Amino acid sequence: MIFTSFVFVYFLAAVTVAYWALRRKSLQNVLLLVASYFFYGYVHPWFCWLIAGSTILDYLCGLGMARFPRWRGSLLLVSLTGNLGMLGVFKYFNFFADNVVAAMHGLGFEMSPVTARLFLPVGISFYTFQTLSYTIDIYRGLLEPRRNFVDFALFVAFFPQLVAGPIERATHFLPQIETPRRWNTDVFMSAWPLLIRGYLKKLVVADNVAVYADKVYLLDQPTALLLAAGTLAFAVQILADFSAYTDIARGAARLLGFELMENFDSPYLAISPSDFWRRWHISFSTWIRDYVYIPLGGSRAGSALAGALIVLASMGLSGLWHGAAWHFVVWGLYHALLLIIYRQLGMSGRWRPATRLGFAVAWAVMFLLTLAGWAIFRAPSLTWLAEAVSQMRLGLRGDPLVVASTIAALVGLYAAPLVVSLVLSRRASRRGPVSAIAFGLAVCLIVLFAQERGQDFIYFQF
Amino acid sequence: MLKRLASPTLFLFTLAAVTQALEPLTPALDPEAVRRVEDYRRALAMERPRVVLLGNSMLGHGVNEIHFSMRTGVHAIKMWDGGVAAAWNHLMIKNVLAEHPNRPEMVVVFFTDQYLTDATFRVHGQYKPRLDALRRPVEPLLDQLAYQKDRRDALAYLITDLWPLDRKREIVKPGVERFVKHRIGRALEMGGLGEVDAAIDRVFADSNLNVALFSKAQIEAMTAPADDRQDFGTLLNRSFLSSDIAMAQRAGIRLAFVRIKRVTAAEAQQAGRAVQNDYMSRYVADLRTYLESQGSLLLDFTQDPRLRVEHYGQGDHLNEQGRLLFTAMLAEALEGRLPEVRGDDAPFAELAQVREPIILEGPFKENSPGMWSAPLPNWAACSSNPRDTYRSVLELLEDGTPLGPRNAFMSDIRSHGAGRYVHWGGFVYFATSDNSDPNTNGRTYSYRFTLPP
């Protein structure tokens, strides 16, 4: 079930009414668990078996770690192997097999291609990381294992954030599941601005600019100007699309009395790579930081080289998480390289330029670097990007200029709600008259500008 | 309490205010589309055709109805509109043809590719006013299949149908995008909206796209059936086809379907490439089986080698030569399938009686500089008309030499001249070969009719 379908609206309304009609927390949790499995298995019921398997495995591993402390390490290994194995089979098997065959071919050995027609279950990357945080935190002694299976299963499968995050931590979300929720009108009403903002971003901004990004990246040989315009369109699309999902997820969760973590903090206002990763997909970047970067040595690395290698490993993994293709890996490594260079230049961490001009220059440079990264990310393949760049014409006149200018102008037009939303969130009171009018206008914009045939959320494929 | 209600009230007030502010933008019915439908109803009433050829501009440019009628001996007329598809055909059959007292005995529906079974194709944007001109207030099948509205889905219906704001979408969004494109065109000093649209079309032309880069969904949508969405049975259930056939049967109308050849198929054929992939071949086979089971006929011209690239003019539109050829091919393919020829009703028999060129008597009236006219009151019934601007088969001669192109636009005759002419209503409008005055240039003007062999 997808957020942009009317089926979801009915589903959410029915679940919300039934949920608040039930007084007892345990019954509410059972209802939410059933609803979450219905949500996840709505199109492909067999998805439910996968998430149930992952849930049972980590539930048992968690209990086992508490009961048999000597086997904590082995049980963590079982959890890691089980979850990452499932992710590996469904997401990376063909990628791995293709690359082995290609590597053997390079070495002079011929192997017949081994590919499996595996269908990637949506959200598997998200809930795998979420449930892994549970077992790892128990292993580290940061969390007590949960005995109530329903509560734990709901933590893994909670439908608002199941498919595309935010990736919640057990330490943050499990206590909310275990605590009785009381009806709070203010919390309930605060969900609506999030829902409206989410739908505005998805239906008006992301889906409309996607048309132009998709067209440019289908061209055999785009000119530099067209590639820049298409990449700008994609930059707006991916931010609007992904943050829309988070907004809708947070709004839906608030209707039920839950608070999910914020996933974005104006990432295109970042002035350095580390600043960018503090603002972009926060639940994922902090997961990588806490469960990969720091355990590998992180900022405590003995030498600059060791530190750089750890950053490369963490960001390479981060890229691979996004998809089983080399351009995602290179995108991750590209960001790793930026982090390393900025660190060498003394511009990492909470670095801030001293002057306004310096700030503006730092922002502009980082924005351009981010765009370059999105070109790698969005490119159909590295070969395509390499060919496009090596044979690229500037296209500063004629049709390419006209088309690139038109795309840039339309992207600017459709991105305007993002800017207005940002300004309002910083300037206007959330419950003041300006916000009420703005959200009224947002609903009108949704009706007037929503794409007839919208696209799936981008992060579904991850 | 009041404070708590202030924000929701203001929110709802904003919705109402925007709805009210945009109310003047409500589109009236497109007068051109309405006129065209009225023309078709009038043609049924006045001309009483026994066969109606129904389709889009590929039919409009592809068949000469006078030649077709003379070849087959059955009076046929074309009913078409540019770019329309299955939804328009459905409304024409339902609201114009099946319910008319002079309904035809047979309707031949023209389509391309697999659009016969695509109810959602060409129902928005510029095509919506054409459908609005044909629709009744309540069209559940159209709303469900073309606009994918389900009246059982109350919320969707409330938003998309009852809230007047939704009906502004067709005006506001394209209007804003056109404004942006127009400003860009002006800013770059390259003209207006038309030039910008043309540049976009050129940059994103099919030949510039790398099919290898298409996503799985895009490829599936175009070619192979990877799931049940592309399965013929599913397509059929989501189309107007079964409803149209049932409706026609109830009205006593026989249906036939013609799959027209596009220029790309002719190009592929001449280059030795396959005209269509396996999926499309399977689709055509399934469609043929289904139509035959319903007592209908499918004629598929996409593989016919007689139509070659040189028979096409602009895009998929046939030129004069192609039109005459395809008309002959169609008449031949439908032989024995059309209503029986009535002995007392040979359509356009009067044309066949004209064996020698007839002298066009002067003086010729100069309607506008360079464009002259002469009355032909006896041949008004076989002239071109707003319904079919390519209808007339009159050939104008200057000192015995054919002028041309015929069926030219009046604006082209005025601006370019050089022998262009059109037979329109009770007149022939023309320019001489050297744009001289036909009253004083000493040449003789005559006409005859190009008749099918």
Say if strands B106-111 and B51-55 run parallel, antiparallel, or are unpaired. parallel
- Over residues B274-287, the mean pLDDT reads 86
What percent of the residues of chain A are helix, what percent strand, and what percent coil, each to the nearest 5?
75, 0, 25
- C-beta of residue A251 within 8 angstroms of C-beta of residue A194: yes
- C-beta of residue A388 within 8 angstroms of C-beta of residue A227: yes
Instruction: Pick the residue of B120, B201, B208, B213 with the most A CBs within 10 A to test the interface with A by mutation.
Output: B213
Question: What pLDDT, on a 0 to 100 scale, did the predictor assign at position B168?
Answer: 77
pLDDT band at residue B260, thresholds of 50, 70 and 90?
Answer: very high
Q: Give residue for tokens 């691979």.
A: A320
Residue ranges in A22-46 assigned as alpha helix (H): 25-40
Question: What pLDDT, on a 0 to 100 scale, did the predictor assign at position A111?
Answer: 64
**Looking at the predicted structure, is the pLDDT value of residue A220 above 90?**
no
Could you give the CA distance from residue A405 to residue A410 in angstroms, rounded to a whole number?
Answer: 9
Q: Is the dihedral of CA B52, B58, B62, B64 positive or negative?
A: positive
Question: What is the ipTM, given to two decimal places?
Answer: 0.77
Chain B CB contacts of A409 below 8 Å? 180, 183-184
Could you give the CA distance from residue A153 to residue A26 in angstroms, rounded to a whole number?
Answer: 13
Minimal C-alpha gap between A9 and chain B (Å): 9
Could you give the CA distance from residue A347 to residue A338 in angstroms, rounded to a whole number?
Answer: 11
Per the prediction, chain A carries an average pLDDT of 85
- C-beta of residue B293 within 8 angstroms of C-beta of residue B259: no
Out of B173, B176, B184, closest to residue A406 by CB: B184
Record: contact B11-A452, CB cut-off 8 A: no
Out of A400, A413, A450, closest to residue B180 by CB: A413
Looking at the complex, does the CB of residue A209 fall below 8 Å from at least one CB of chain B? no
Paired strand residues for B51: B76, B106
Report the chain A residue with the minimal C-alpha distance to residue B148: A452
**Looking at the predicted structure, is the pLDDT value of residue A120 above 70?**
no
Chain A CB contacts of B154 below 8 Å? none
Question: What pLDDT, on a 0 to 100 scale, did the predictor assign at position B11?
Answer: 83
Q: Within a 10 A sphere around the Cβ of B182, how many other Cβ atoms?
A: 17
Chain B CB contacts of A226 below 8 Å? 203
With a CB-CB cutoff of 8 Å, which residues 273-312 of chain B face chain A?
Answer: none
- Spatial CB neighbours of B218, under 8 Å, sequence gap ≥ 6: none
- Give the model confidence (pLDDT) of A136-161 as tens digits: 999 988 888 988 999 999 999 999 98
Select which of A44, A105, A172, A322 is catalytic: A322
Chain A CB contacts of B203 below 8 Å? 219, 226, 399-400, 403
Record: contact B203-A444, CB cut-off 8 A: no
Say if strands B254-259 and B106-111 run parallel, antiparallel, or are unpaired. parallel
Out of B10, B13, B166, closest to residue A447 by CB: B166
Report the chain A residue with the minimal C-alpha distance to residue B4: A431
Chain B CB contacts of A9 below 8 Å? 155
- Residue among B347, B271, B263 nearest B66 (CA): B347
- C-beta of residue B63 within 8 angstroms of C-beta of residue B70: no
- Spatial CB neighbours of A300, under 8 Å, sequence gap ≥ 6: none
- Give the model confidence (pLDDT) of A55-109 as tens digits: 999 999 999 988 888 888 888 899 988 888 888 777 776 666 677 677 777 777 6
Cα angle at A314 between A371 and A368, to 5 degrees?
Answer: 10
- Residue among B276, B310, B340 nearest B74 (CA): B340
- Over residues A417-428, the mean pLDDT reads 81
pLDDT band at residue B225, thresholds of 50, 70 and 90?
Answer: very low
Out of A221, A398, A440, closest to residue B11 by CB: A440
Chain A CB contacts of B196 below 8 Å? 402, 406
- C-beta of residue B329 within 8 angstroms of C-beta of residue B300: no
Radius of gyration (Cα) for chain B, nearest Å?
Answer: 25
Looking at the complex, does the CB of residue A444 fall below 8 Å from at least one CB of chain B? yes
Work out the angle between the directed axes of helices B193-203 and B169-187 (0-180°, nearest 10). Answer: 90
Record: contact A444-B15, CB cut-off 8 A: yes
Could you give the CA distance from residue B80 to residue A65 in angstroms, rounded to a whole number?
Answer: 75
Q: Give residue for tokens 């409803």.
A: B243
Question: What pLDDT, on a 0 to 100 scale, did the predictor assign at position A459?
Answer: 59
Minimal C-alpha gap between B150 and chain A (Å): 11
Chain A CB contacts of B176 below 8 Å? 413
Give the C-alpha distances (Å, rounded to integers) separating B196 from A213, A289, A400, B125, B207.
18, 48, 11, 18, 19
Record: contact A10-B155, CB cut-off 8 A: yes
Kindly report the backbone phi and psi dihedral angles of residue B355, in degrees, each rounded to the nearest multiple of 5, phi listed first.
Answer: -100, -35
The pair of three-digit structure tokens given for residue A287, joined into one six-digit string: 């997961």
- Least confident window among A104-118, A335-349, B101-115, B311-325: A104-118
Instruction: Pick the residue of B19, B173, B203 with the most A CBs within 10 A to test the interface with A by mutation.
Output: B203
Out of B17, B159, B177, closest to residue A410 by CB: B177
Out of A403, A440, A444, closest to residue B200 by CB: A403
Question: What pLDDT, on a 0 to 100 scale, did the predictor assign at position B294?
Answer: 93
Question: What pLDDT, on a 0 to 100 scale, did the predictor assign at position B223?
Answer: 46
- Give the model confidence (pLDDT) of A272-330 as tens digits: 999 999 999 999 999 998 888 888 887 777 787 888 888 888 888 888 888 777 888 89
Record: contact B202-A439, CB cut-off 8 A: no
C-alpha torsion B181→B184→B189→B195, nearest 10: -20
Q: Give residue for tokens 């996840």.
A: A40
Q: Looking at per-residue confidence, does A274 or A220 come out higher?
A: A274
Chain A CB contacts of B143 below 8 Å? none
Cα angle at A69 between A67 and A70, to 5 degrees?
Answer: 130
Could you give the CA distance from residue B8 to residue A440 in angstroms, rounded to a whole number?
Answer: 9
Out of B10, B165, B213, closest to residue A217 by CB: B213
Out of B14, B155, B166, closest to residue A437 by CB: B14
Three-state SS at A462: coil
Record: contact A403-B180, CB cut-off 8 A: no
- Over residues B257-277, the mean pLDDT reads 89
Record: contact B12-A440, CB cut-off 8 A: yes
Three-state SS at B64: coil
Q: Within a 10 A sphere around the Cβ of B101, how many other Cβ atoms?
A: 7
Could you give the CA distance from residue B417 to residue B409 in angstroms, rounded to a whole number?
Answer: 10
Percent residues over pLDDT 70 in chain B: 90
- Residue among A198, A197, A134 nearest A168 (CA): A134
The pair of three-digit structure tokens given for residue B351, joined into one six-digit string: 């044309």
- C-beta of residue A231 within 8 angstroms of C-beta of residue A376: no
Could you give the CA distance from residue B322 to residue B303 in angstroms, rounded to a whole number?
Answer: 15
User: How far, rounded to the nearest angstrom, does the alpha carbon of residue B110 sit from its chain's CA centroid?
Assistant: 9
- Give the model confidence (pLDDT) of A365-393 as tens digits: 999 999 999 999 888 888 888 888 887 77
Buried b (16+ CB within 10 A) or exposed e, B210-230: eeebbeeeeebeebebeeeeb
Looking at the complex, does the CB of residue A437 fall below 8 Å from at least one CB of chain B? yes
Question: What pLDDT, on a 0 to 100 scale, did the predictor assign at position A221?
Answer: 80
In this structure, what DSSP letter does residue A303 have? S
With a CB-CB cutoff of 8 Å, which residues 90-129 of chain B face chain A?
Answer: 124
What is the end-to-end Cα distance of chain A in Å, rounded? 16
Could you give the CA distance from residue B399 to residue A39 in angstroms, rounded to a whole number?
Answer: 80
Percent residues over pLDDT 70 in chain A: 92
Minimal C-alpha gap between A132 and chain B (Å): 31
The pair of three-digit structure tokens given for residue B217, joined into one six-digit string: 């969904």
- Spatial CB neighbours of A13, under 8 Å, sequence gap ≥ 6: none
Give the C-alpha distances (Å, rounded to integers) separating B242 from A308, B237, B294, B316.
66, 8, 9, 28
Cis amide prior to B438 (ω within 30 degrees): no
The pair of three-digit structure tokens given for residue A342, joined into one six-digit string: 């900025």
Paired strand residues for A219: B209
Question: What pLDDT, on a 0 to 100 scale, did the predictor assign at position A116?
Answer: 52
Instruction: Pick the residue of B10, B11, B152, B183 with the most A CBs within 10 A to test the interface with A by mutation.
Output: B11
- C-beta of residue B108 within 8 angstroms of C-beta of residue B52: yes
- C-beta of residue B118 within 8 angstroms of C-beta of residue B264: no
Instruction: Pick the residue of A8, A197, A225, A405 with the most B CBs within 10 A to test the interface with B by mutation.
Output: A405
Record: contact B7-A409, CB cut-off 8 A: no
- C-beta of residue B53 within 8 angstroms of C-beta of residue B68: yes
Paired strand residues for A205: none
Report the chain B residue with the minimal C-alpha distance to residue A412: B180
**Looking at the predicted structure, is the pLDDT value of residue A455 above 70?**
no
- Over residues B261-280, the mean pLDDT reads 86
Could you give the CA distance from residue B299 to residue A165 in angstroms, rounded to a whole number?
Answer: 53
Residue A105 among the catalytic residues? no
Give the CATH number of domain B21-162+205-346; options: 3.20.140.10, 3.40.50.1110, 2.60.40.180, 3.40.50.970: 3.40.50.1110
- Least confident window among B7-11, B47-51, B402-406: B7-11
The size of chain A, in residues, is 462
**Looking at the predicted structure, is the pLDDT value of residue B218 above 60?**
no
Cα angle at B379 between B375 and B385, to 5 degrees?
Answer: 90
pLDDT band at residue A18, thresholds of 50, 70 and 90?
Answer: very high
Minimal C-alpha gap between A327 and chain B (Å): 14
The DSSP line for A362-407 is: HHHHHHHHHHHHHHHHHSS-HHHHHHHHHT-----SHHHHHHHHHH
With a CB-CB cutoff of 8 Å, which residues 163-192 of chain A face chain B?
Answer: 185
pLDDT band at residue B422, thresholds of 50, 70 and 90?
Answer: very high
- C-beta of residue A106 within 8 angstroms of C-beta of residue A89: no
Minimal C-alpha gap between B161 and chain A (Å): 11
- Give the model confidence (pLDDT) of B361-417 as tens digits: 888 999 888 899 999 888 888 888 878 888 888 989 999 899 988 888 888 888 888
- Residue among B59, B101, B57, B95 nearest B77 (CA): B59
pLDDT band at residue B257, thresholds of 50, 70 and 90?
Answer: very high
The DSSP line for B20-38 is: HHTGGGPPPP-HHHHHHHH
The enclosing H or E element of B396 equals: strand B394-398
Question: What pLDDT, on a 0 to 100 scale, did the predictor assign at position A453?
Answer: 62
